[in-house]
């Protein structure tokens, strides 16, 4: 094995708590009803193409992403459209969603439900991208950016590397880990598809070495694919963030405010590669995904393959029910996930985990004065000064925030994690980012 790599600037080491890493992926039955939000991706929400009362099949297109950055949405169960209404989603607000009452589990024709591996294909780049788009594949790494858009390299830029993000640097989460172990072959094929679509001849899979088994497994599989290499990485949060991952793997720095393609890289999550495989070779839309359910007092932590739109509470039941001492339920990882204020919110394409914290674990430390210990600025992987950004935001000095590059903050949360005085740094920075963003837009006209 090669020497482990990592990024140089900043980073933290939160406790890993990967309780569910040994639990293989368990497929759950379709729930009684699902609520499928129209906005599960970054960009413009999709427009519904079904009406209340319509019968739909699992895998059927129910909302179309028409804008350039948008994605199609498919029914994840078969049944009747109960209504199209606003439901509370993980944002904490009511958003438009299509509610379907499940009847049976009938799939549309053309989806290859066979589990067997397909490796041969004869498709050109356009066709691959089209299938990805049709089947509503979005990034599974968290940002849910429509994947087909990433396949279209802008004019004048050239992609050199496809980087596959198998880092899963978030503590507690194990979905990608399990997927790599159990669907390694499919992921490899998915990667070849992505490479073809992008027109690159090199792909690197980055995996942190706390997933030694997955690392080894993929390394073995990669022997068959000379274009794909697997690189072990030292454990450090947020290695999974694309800029940090690119730095770690190919030692290139994406310039401030620019996309990875600027340095010839495109980053995809391993889950995305799997979804691409299914979409392109099995014609299966993105209608289910792996979700880790975990937490120190959860009875049966596990990784579940669930239909999009399943209420979170159903998932929690599957893991043994909501523990008595629950204080907080998080959608996503402990570092970047969102705390839920309602347990009926649906699982979406971006839901990588549901974490249940006890009362004790959910309390933030009390806030004290910043003692200027410089920890936040030392660990900020973007080289920012979080304490300063938070103070400037507080004082509404937005121009200075911009000069201090507040917009470079990727909200990784390392600063808030490390701060000994319990300053809610990231909370303030987020407010600042919103305001600076607005200011920049206004200035642009």
Partner 1 sequence: MKVLTVSGSPHFHAEESVSKLMYGVVFSLIPAMLVSFYFFGLAAIVVTLTAVVACMAFEFLIQKYLIKGPLTIFDGSAIITGVLLAFNVPANLPLGLVVIGSAVAIGMGKMTFGGLGKNPFNPALVGRVFLMISFPVQMTTYPQPSVLNVSLTDAVTGPTPLTIIKDGVSRGMPVSELMGQIPDYINLLMGNLGGSAGEISAIAILLGGVYMLIRKIISWHIPVAYLGSAAIFAGIFWLISPEVYPDPLFHLLTGGLMLGAIYMATDYTTSPMSRTGMIIFGIGCGLLTIIIRLFGAYPEGVAFSILIMNAFVPLINRGLKPKRFGEEVKNG
Partner 2 sequence: MNEILNEITLFSVVSLGAIGGVAAIILFLVAQKFKVIEDPRIDQVEELLPAANCGGCGLAGCRALAEAIVKAESLEGFNCPPGGSDVMQDIAKAMGWEAGETTPMIAVLRCNGTREQAPPKVRYDSAMTCAFAHALFAGEGGCPYGCLGCGDCVLACSFDAMYMDKETGLPVILDDKCVACAACVKECPRNIIEMRKKGKKDRRIFVSCINEEKGGVARKNCKVACIGCGKCLKECKFDAITLENNLAYIDFEKCTLCRKCPPVCPTNAIHELNFPVRKQKPAETVES
Partner 3 sequence: MEYIIIIIGAVFVNNIVLAQFLGICPYLGVSAKVSTSIGMSGAVMFVMTLATLVTFLIFNFILVPFNIEYLQTISYILVVASLVQMVEIILKKVSPALYQALGIFLPLIVTNCAILGVTILAVREDYGFNLLEGVVFAIGHALGFALTIILFAGIREHLELMDVPKGMRGAPAALVVAGILALAFMGFANLV
Ligand X SMILES: Cc1cc2nc3c(=O)[nH]c(=O)nc-3n(C[C@H](O)[C@H](O)[C@H](O)COP(=O)(O)O)c2cc1C
Tell me which of ligand SF4, partner 1, partner 2, none is bound by residue 94, counting a contact when its beta carbon lies within the kind-specific cut-off of 5 to 8 angstroms.
partner 2
Closest distance to partner 3 from the beta carbon of 391 (Å): 5
Closest distance to partner 3 from the beta carbon of 371 (Å): 12
Residues 69-98 touching ligand X, rule: CB under 6 A, are none
Per rule CB under 8 A, count of chain residues that contact partner 1: 72
Task: Measure CA 32 to chain center.
Answer: 26
Tell me which of partner 1, partner 2, ligand X, none is bound by residue 434, counting a contact when its beta carbon lies within the kind-specific cut-off of 5 to 8 angstroms.
partner 2
Going by C-alpha positions, the residue among 186, 271, 266, 273 that lies closest to residue 221 is 186
Alpha helices in 125-241 (DSSP H): 125-134, 147-151, 175-182, 184-198, 212-222
Instruction: Evaluate whether 64 touches 305 at the Cβ level (below 8 Å).
Output: no
b/e per residue 102-131 (b: at least 16 CB within 10 A): beeeebbeebeeeeeeeeeeeeeeeebbbb
Residues 190-229 touching partner 1, rule: CB under 8 A, are none
Going by C-alpha positions, the residue among 178, 331, 187, 164 that lies closest to residue 242 is 164
d(CA 335, CA 337): 6
User: For the window 137-176, what string marks contact with ligand SF4 as x by the rule CB under 6 A?
Assistant: ----------------------------------------
Tell me which of partner 2, ligand SF4, partner 3, none is bound by residue 427, counting a contact when its beta carbon lies within the kind-specific cut-off of 5 to 8 angstroms.
partner 2
Closest distance to partner 3 from the beta carbon of 323 (Å): 40
Closest distance to ligand X from the beta carbon of 163 (Å): 8
Q: Is 430 in the site for partner 2 (CB under 8 A)?
A: yes
Instruction: Evaluate whether 354 touches 316 at the Cβ level (below 8 Å).
Output: yes
Instruction: Evaluate whether 165 touches 268 at the Cβ level (below 8 Å).
Output: yes
User: For the window 353-382, what string marks contact with ligand SF4 as x by the rule CB under 6 A?
Assistant: -----------------xxxxxxx---xxx
Closest distance to ligand X from the beta carbon of 149 (Å): 6
Q: What is the DSSP string of 71-125?
A: --EE-SS-EEEEEEEEEE-TTSSEEEEEEEEE-TT-B-TT-----S--------H
Q: Is 150 in the site for partner 2 (CB under 8 A)?
A: no
Binding region for partner 3 (CB under 8 A): 388, 391-392, 395
Q: Is 413 in the site for partner 1 (CB under 8 A)?
A: yes
Binding residue for partner 1 (CB under 8 A) from 119, 255, 300, 360? 255
User: For the window 393-412, what string marks contact with ligand SF4 as x by the rule CB under 6 A?
Assistant: ----------------xxxx
Cβ count within 10 A of residue 184: 18
Q: Is 426 in the site for ligand SF4 (CB under 6 A)?
A: yes
Q: Is 57 in the site for ligand X (CB under 6 A)?
A: no
Tell me which of ligand SF4, partner 3, partner 1, none is bound by residue 395, counting a contact when its beta carbon lies within the kind-specific cut-off of 5 to 8 angstroms.
partner 3
Residues 301-360 touching partner 1, rule: CB under 8 A, are 322, 326-330, 332, 334-341, 343, 355, 357
Sheet containing strand 202-208, strands side by side: 228-233, 202-208, 161-165, 265-269
d(CA 105, CA 318): 19
d(CA 322, CA 313): 8
Going by C-alpha positions, the residue among 355, 308, 344, 47 that lies closest to residue 172 is 355
Question: For binding to ligand SF4 (CB under 6 A), which residues are involved?
Answer: 370-376, 380-382, 384, 386-387, 409-415, 418-421, 423, 425-426, 429
Question: For binding to ligand X (CB under 6 A), which residues are involved?
Answer: 42, 139-143, 145, 149-150, 154, 165, 167-170, 238, 240-242, 259-261, 266-269, 272, 336, 410, 412
């Amino acid at each position: 094995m090669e020497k482990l790599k990592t990024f140089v600037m900043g980073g933290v080491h939160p406790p890993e708590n990967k309780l569910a890493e040994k639990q293989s992926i368990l497929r759950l039955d379709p729930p009684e009803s699902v609520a499928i939000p129209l906005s599960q991706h970054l960009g413009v929400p999709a427009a519904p193409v079904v009406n209340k009362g319509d019968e739909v099949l699992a895998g059927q297109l129910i909302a179309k992403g028409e804008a350039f950055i948008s994605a199609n949405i498919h029914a994840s169960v078969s049944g009747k459209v109960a209504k199209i209404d606003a439901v509370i989603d993980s944002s904490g607000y009511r958003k438009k969603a299509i509610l379907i009452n499940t009847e049976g589990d009938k799939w549309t024709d053309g989806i290859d439900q066979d589990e067997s591996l397909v490796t041969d294909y004869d498709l050109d780049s356009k066709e691959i991208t089209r299938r990805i788009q049709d089947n509503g594949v979005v990034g599974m790494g968290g940002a849910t950016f429509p994947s087909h858009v990433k396949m279209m390299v802008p004019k004048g830029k050239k992609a050199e590397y496809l980087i596959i993000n198998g880092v899963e640097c978030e503590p507690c989460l194990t979905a990608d880990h399990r997927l790599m172990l159990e669907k390694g072959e499919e992921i490899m094929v998915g990667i070849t598809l992505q490479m073809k679509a992008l027109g690159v001849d090199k792909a690197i899979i980055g995996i942190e070495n706390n997933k030694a088994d997955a690392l080894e497994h993929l390394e073995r599989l990669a022997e068959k694919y000379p274009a794909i290499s697997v690189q072990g990485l030292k454990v450090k949060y947020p290695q999974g963030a694309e800029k940090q991952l690119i730095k770690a793997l190919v030692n290139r720095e994406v310039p401030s405010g620019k996309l990875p393609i600027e340095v010839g890289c495109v980053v995809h999550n391993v889950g995305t590669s799997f979804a691409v495989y299914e979409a392109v070779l099995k014609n299966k839309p993105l209608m289910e995904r792996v979700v880790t359910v975990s937490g120190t007092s959860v009875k049966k932590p596990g990784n579940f393959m669930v239909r999009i739109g399943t209420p979170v509470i159903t998932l929690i039941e599957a893991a043994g029910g909501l523990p008595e001492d629950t204080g907080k339920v998080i959608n996503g990882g402990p570092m970047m996930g969102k705390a839920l204020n309602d347990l009926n919110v649906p699982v979406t394409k971006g839901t990588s985990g549901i974490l249940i914290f006890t009362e004790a674990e959910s309390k933030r430390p009390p806030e004290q004065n910043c003692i200027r210990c410089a920890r936040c600025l030392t660990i900020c992987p973007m080289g920012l000064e979080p304490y300063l950004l938070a103070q400037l935001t507080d004082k509404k000095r937005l121009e200075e925030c911009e000069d201090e590059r507040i917009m470079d903050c990727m909200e990784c949360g390392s600063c808030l994690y490390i701060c000994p005085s319990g300053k809610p740094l990231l909370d303030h920075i987020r407010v600042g980012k919103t305001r600076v963003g607005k200011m920049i837009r206004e200035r642009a006209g």
